[in-house]
Amino acid sequence: MLACTPQLALTLAEGLLHSAAAREGDSYAVWVSNATLPLAGLLYAARQDNLGIGWVLDAAANTYRDVDEHEPGWVNAAQRVADAPLLATALRRTVNMDARQRDSVAMTVLEALAAWRPSREGGLR
């Protein structure tokens, strides 16, 4: 299980984003504050049904508004975290941003999750 409470999800998201910011530099750091709550929302959403980090990675890359109800994505994550309105609102707000801003937030989230992305060789980074 990734994050069993909204507070734990927020703490984990902050740690992941600050760690990535140290690697990526100033241009990345600008987006960290915009990405913290959405990343926490994705992590918290995965707690239901023990979806795991694979679901989080798939969801992080899917900011489309029109998705199947079972498809990993920001819209469905917002529904899964309805008990944490701050996280749900952050996910919905980000999905509705201007495309360039939304993509910048999504890329920031994906960079924070880089350690879990499969490498080209098939294993984890």
Determine what percent of the chain is predicted with pLDDT higher than 90: 68
DSSP per residue, 79-103? HHTTTSHHHHHHHHHHHTS-HHHHH
Which whole-number Å values give the CA distances from 106 to 49, 60, 90, 123, in the listed order? 24, 7, 12, 23
CB of 91 within 8 A of CB of 74?
yes
pLDDT at 107 over 80: yes
Domains of the chain, by residue range, sit at: 6-116
What is the predicted pLDDT for the residue at 92? 97
Residue type, 20: A
Confidence band (pLDDT; 50, 70, 90) for 1?
A: low
Q: What is the pLDDT of residues 68-101, one digit of tens each?
A: 988 999 999 999 999 999 999 999 999 999 999 9
| pTM score | 0.90
* 3-class SS of residue 118: strand
